Amino acid sequence: MSKHRLLVLGSALLVALGLVSYAAAGSKSAATRAAASGSITIALGGEPTTLDPLLKEDGNSDWVTNSIFDTLLARSTDGKKLFPKLAASMPKLINKTTWQVKLRSGIKFSDGEPMNADAVVFSINRIINPKYNSEQVEFVGTIKKAVKVNDSTVNILTKGPDPVLPSRLYWVRIVAPQATAKSDSASHPVGTGPYLFKEWARGDHITITANPNYWGSPKPSIQTITYKFVPEEGAQLAGLISGQYDLITSLLPDEVKRAPKAVITAGNEHPMLIPNAKPGSGITSDARVRQALNYAIDKNALASKLYDGYAVPDAGQTLSPSWFGYNPKVKAYPYNPAKAKALLKAAHATGKSITIATESGRWLNDKILVESVAQYWRAVGLKVTVNVEAFNTWLNQLFDSKHRPQVIFVSTDNPIYDADRTLSTYYESSGGGASNSDAQMKKWIDQARTETNVSKRLGLYHKAVAKANKQAYLVWLLNLKNVWGMSKQLQWQPRQDGFMYDNTMKLSG
């Protein structure tokens, strides 16, 4: 045997020995870990910016604070129904601009402060305080102020009639006034929720523990929950497979099979394209062209090929079925390339050029989704250019309604399950992301915003949605599902809005 071979063989042997001993040590530690009951680790895509639940628009913060704080109203898992939580009953409209909320009595914050009208008034007036500059203001911007009536009754005054107010109360977390006044309240949250804050090791983890005195139900079943911050999807999956994590928040559709367990729910995310429908914006100002753009795309193929089936075609309205305002009579444009070609021909648009602007990476598969759409449009006889812009450039284009690209990609969701924000932004001509000049549409949406009669309001949205669909003001693509990766031991039914209430989690065995 030559020296060469000896060297290679020797080093290979060494490496192998090392690996075997490591593997043995590894499987042992995994086994002891699984046996320890009563604690789980959840991998978040990033570190929460703050644990002040009223300040930031940050999903990672919400995932932690939703288990520490309670809201006045709660929502069913599928999002369809609101019911009282800290409130004793559903809020009542006592005059056009005043909602009255009765509170449950006897509930205390974890520092002993009573959860009463003072706390609720404090929380609501805090989130709307202009100086506080909350990023969540869009969810509560209609509220003028909250006023205490007596210890268990609060009046919420709105700037105009606000039919969406109950949905807004599902958003506002109630904080403890005295604890919040302390300087470290953003890193030491005090709530009434099922879990108590334990520690925040910056950059590494946050730990919460079960609140033994939790007033509500279900009572927390897992004693200790640790949140780790893991931005990279591959690292999240690797940690889930190796048993470091019990729940990961970013599981890619094509990796679902590799996860020990995956749970899928309906979702609120709607990727779509906004064609410029304003007069003088080229071929997209013609409704027939916009309809053709919709007919040309095979939404079912996109859902199955790009999202491995974890998406459904958007029902031609940017609204999920569980949101207020969803119109069940409006359907997605069927895939019909022949009709698309005919419409383009009738509009003298065949062979014309069209440009799509998009960003890349903010949403799952966004760039490849837009490129697939471009391919469908080419197939029906258009010349399509895709401009992939830097995120900030794309943002500027999206918000610049005067110089917006001919077609721009965006994805939208709606955590308060009400059509108002979605339609005001993307349907109403004055909205930040709308590209039409439909005065009637604007009137309906404006009316609906302050219409307190539920069925009248629903009727207005149904009309708006139906007209927008017929006029093809948008090119609707998909409604994505939520995909969660879990360890075998964790039992949990995720929610459509992606909120995480840790007291609904259990360990098996």
Partner 1 sequence: MGRFALRRIVYGIVVMFLVTVVVFVTTRLIGDPSKTLLPLTATSAERAHFKHVLGLDRPLPVQFFHYLAGVVHLDFGNSLLQSRPALGIVLERLPNTFELVGFGLALAVLLAIPLGVLAALKPGSLLDKFTVVISLSGLSVAQVWLGLLLILVFAAELKVLPSAGIGGFSHLILPGVTFGLPALGRLVMLTRSTMIDELNAQYVQTARAKGMPEWRVVGLHALRNASIPILTLAGWELIRALAGFSVVVETVFAWPGVGYLAFQSIQQSDVILLQAIVTVMGFLIIAINVILDVLFKGLDRRVQLA
* Rounded Cα gap, residues 5 and 81, in angstroms: 72
> Which of 218, 231, 334, 351 is in the footprint of partner 1 by CB under 8 A?
231
DSSP per residue, 125-183 = HHHH-GGG--TTHHHHTTEEEEEEEETTEEEEEESS--TTHHHHHTT-B---HHHHHST
Least distance between partner 1 and beta carbon 434 (Å): 11
- 403 in contact with partner 1 (CB under 8 A): no
Q: Which is nearer to partner 1, 29 or 76 (CB)?
A: 29
Cα–Cα separations (whole angstroms), residue 248 to 53, 230, 240, 483: 22, 9, 7, 9
On whether the CB atoms of residues 173 and 71 are closer than 8 A, the answer is yes
- Say how far apart CA 330 and CA 499 lie, in whole Å: 28
Q: Least separation, in Å, of the C-beta of 118 and partner 1?
A: 24
Q: Which stretch binds partner 1 (CB under 8 A): 93-101, 196-204, 274-282, 485-493?
A: 196-204
**Residue 466 is a binding residue for partner 1 (CB under 8 A):** no
Residue with tokens 């099979």: 257
By beta-carbon proximity to partner 1, the closer residue of 83 and 391 is 391
Q: Per-residue x/- marks for partner 1, 53-92, CB under 8 A?
A: --xxx-----------------------------------
Q: How many residues bind partner 1 (CB under 8 A)?
A: 61
Q: For partner 1, give the closer residue by CB, 19 or 346.
A: 19
Give the residue with the Cβ less far from partner 1, 180 or 422.
422
Q: Contact between 358 and partner 1 (CB under 8 A)?
A: no
Per rule CB under 8 A, is residue 244 in the interface with partner 1?
yes
Give, as ranges, the residues between 176 and 195 that touch partner 1 (CB under 8 A): 186
Q: Does 446 bind partner 1 (CB under 8 A)?
A: no
Contact residue for partner 1 among 188, 229, 322, 450 (CB under 8 A): 229
State in angstroms the smallest separation of the CB of 385 from partner 1. Answer: 24
Give the C-alpha separation, 62 to 57, whole Å. 8
Among 395, 459, 491, 504, indicate the residue that binds partner 1 (CB under 8 A).
395
> Nearest approach, Cβ of 451 to partner 1 (angstroms)?
19
**151 lies in the binding site for partner 1 (CB under 8 A):** no
Q: Is 271 in the site for partner 1 (CB under 8 A)?
A: no
Judged by CB under 8 A, the residue of 104, 270, 288, 421 near partner 1 is: 421
What's the closest the beta carbon of residue 5 comes to partner 1, in angstroms? 11
Instruction: Write down the least CB distance from residue 69 to partner 1, Å.
Output: 18
What separation in angstroms does the CA of 52 have from each of 58, 125, 179, 182?
11, 15, 11, 12
DSSP labels, 365-409? THHHHHHHHHHHHHHTT-EEEEEE--HHHHHHHHH-SSS--SEEE
CB nearer to partner 1: give 419 or 490. Answer: 419
182-186 contacts: CB < 8 A, separation 24 or more? 185/52, 186/50, 186/51, 186/52, 186/55
Kindly list the strands in the beta sheet with 143-150, ordered across the sheet, starting from the edge strand earlier in the chain: 92-95, 98-102, 153-158, 143-150
Q: Name which position in 10, 112, 160, 234 contacts partner 1 (CB under 8 A).
A: 234
Q: Are the beta carbons of 139 and 415 closer than 8 angstroms?
A: yes
Q: Could you tell me which stretch among 106-114, 151-159, 202-210, 377-385 binds partner 1 (CB under 8 A)?
A: 202-210
CA distances from 401 to 274, 318, 407 (A): 11, 19, 12
Site string for partner 1, 12-41 (x = CB under 8 A): -------x--xx-xxx-xx-----------
Nearest CA to 177 out of 247, 251, 256, 121 is that of 121
Hey, CA dihedral for 86, 266, 228, 242, is it positive or negative? positive
Q: How far is CA 268 from CA 208, 299, 305, 417, in A?
A: 28, 17, 20, 9
Pick the stretch among 70-78, 96-104, 224-232, 467-475 that binds partner 1 (CB under 8 A). 224-232
| Angle in degrees, CA 388, 368, 292, rounded to 5 | 90
Report the nearest approach of partner 1 to the CB of residue 45 (Å): 10
Question: Which letter does DSSP use for residue 244 in this model?
Answer: S
- Out of 37, 346, 432, 440, the residue judged to bind partner 1 by CB under 8 A: 432
The C-alpha angle 448, 451, 456, rounded to 5 degrees, equals: 80
Query: Using the rule CB under 8 A, which residue among 97, 123, 424, 496 binds partner 1?
Result: 424
**Which phi and psi (to 5°) does residue 467 adopt?**
-65, -45
Residues at the contact surface with partner 1, assessed by CB under 8 A: 3-4, 7, 19, 22-23, 25-27, 29-30, 46-47, 49-50, 52, 55-57, 130-131, 133, 135, 137-138, 141, 186, 202-205, 228-232, 234-239, 241-244, 391-392, 395-396, 398-399, 410, 412, 414, 421-422, 424-425, 432-433
